[in-house]
Amino acid sequence: MLLVEACGQANTAPASPPPATAYSNVSVDEFRQRMGEEDVVLLDVRTPGEVSQGKIPGAVEMDFRDPDFRQRIESLDKDRTYLVYCAVGGRSSQTCEMMSEAGFARLYNLEGGYTAWKGR
């Protein structure tokens, strides 16, 4: 009987908040603004076929689907700021997660990707 009563008590401890993302999703306007800052790397993680359709000037191309993609990402300078984009934002957000796990601190993901960029 004592065991049943203990199990019936409500847990009054506050729930822990969900973990914060270690990168920021930013609008096209904020992305453009950050492009003018010092020590920024613009990273395009689309495929060569997608890049052939157009890209943001000055972007470094690194195909998310390359087998050595993670290794190439981890070899980048962790002290720089990275503005990351893909076609619509999925691969770039995964890239930001990967970079965050590898110790990168200043990461910005373009919401809506290159599609949003072209629409502005």
Q: Are 92 and 45 in contact (CB under 8 A)?
A: yes
Q: Dihedral sign, CA of 19, 84, 81, 70?
A: positive
Q: Which of 43, 59, 84, 86 is catalytic?
A: 86
Q: Are 116 and 110 in contact (CB under 8 A)?
A: yes
Residue 25 has φ and ψ, to the nearest 5°, of -85, 125
Annotation marks residue 96 as catalytic:
no
> In this structure, which amino acid lies at residue 89?
G
Catalytic center residues: 86
